[in-house]
């Protein structure tokens, strides 16, 4: 039985994160950061997104202008990331983040990824907030809040 077949039950996608990290290949820090972005909805919530940011910040702090050896072209990497994102039901912005960390060449690429991750965290916070009930005029019968026959 393969390691993918023995995965924990919360890893339900047929395309696992470690398979993407090996195929591209990703650095340790990029792999950790993208793993947390991939699993945040199913496992650790917003805390996982903050862990992803922590790994990204370490990447930025330790960035060296030495290219990561790649065996894939940029378009092949984009195709792999798209397949991975579809298999794991990631949003477009999450896919964009993973693509940035799969293709980065310059420190500015990592800083752009940080802005995208900040957006992901902001969106997660918004979706975590309870929705306020809209204040609609009218009667309860038509979806409003005023009693029948009452003005304002």
Residue 93 has a pLDDT of 97
Which residue range is the domain that position 47 belongs to?
14-62+71-126
Q: Is 131 exposed, middle or buried (0-12, 13-18, 19+ CB in 10 A)?
A: exposed
113 found inside a domain: yes
5 found inside a domain: no
Q: Measured between alpha carbons, how far is 135 from 118 in angstroms, rounded to an integer?
A: 31
132 found inside a domain: no
Domain count, the chain: 1
Chain segment 3-27, per-residue pLDDT in tens: 444 455 544 568 899 999 999 999 9
21 found inside a domain: yes
Residue 131 has a pLDDT of 45
131 found inside a domain: no
pTM for this predicted structure: 0.76
Answer yes or no: are the C-beta atoms of 77 and 99 closer than 8 Å: yes
CB atoms within 10 A of CB 147: 8
77 found inside a domain: yes
DSSP designation for 131? P
Place of tokens 């650095």: 27
DSSP designation for 147? P
Residue 115 has a pLDDT of 98
8 found inside a domain: no
Q: For 131, how many CA atoms within 13 A lie in the half-sphere containing its CB? A: 4
Q: Measured between alpha carbons, how far is 23 from 16 in angstroms, rounded to an integer?
A: 11
6 found inside a domain: no
Answer yes or no: are the C-beta atoms of 87 and 13 closer than 8 Å: yes
Spans in the chain with pLDDT lower than 50: 2-6, 10-11, 131, 133-134
């Amino acid at each position: 039985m393969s390691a993918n077949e023995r995965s924990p039950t919360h890893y339900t996608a047929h395309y696992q994160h470690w398979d993407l990290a090996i195929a591209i290949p990703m650095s340790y820090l990029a792999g950790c950061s993208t793993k947390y972005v991939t699993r945040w909805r199913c496992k650790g919530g917003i805390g996982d997104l903050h862990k992803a940011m922590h790994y990204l910040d370490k990447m930025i702090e330790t960035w060296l202008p030495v290219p990561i050896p790649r065996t894939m072209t940029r378009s092949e990497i984009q195709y792999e990331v798209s397949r991975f994102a579809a298999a794991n039901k990631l949003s477009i912005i999450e896919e964009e983040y993973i693509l940035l960390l799969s293709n980065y060449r310059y420190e500015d690429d990592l800083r752009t990824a940080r802005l995208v991750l900040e957006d992901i965290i902001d969106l997660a916070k918004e979706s975590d907030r309870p929705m306020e009930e809209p204040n609609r005029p009218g009667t309860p019968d038509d979806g409003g809040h005023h009693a029948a026959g009452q003005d304002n």
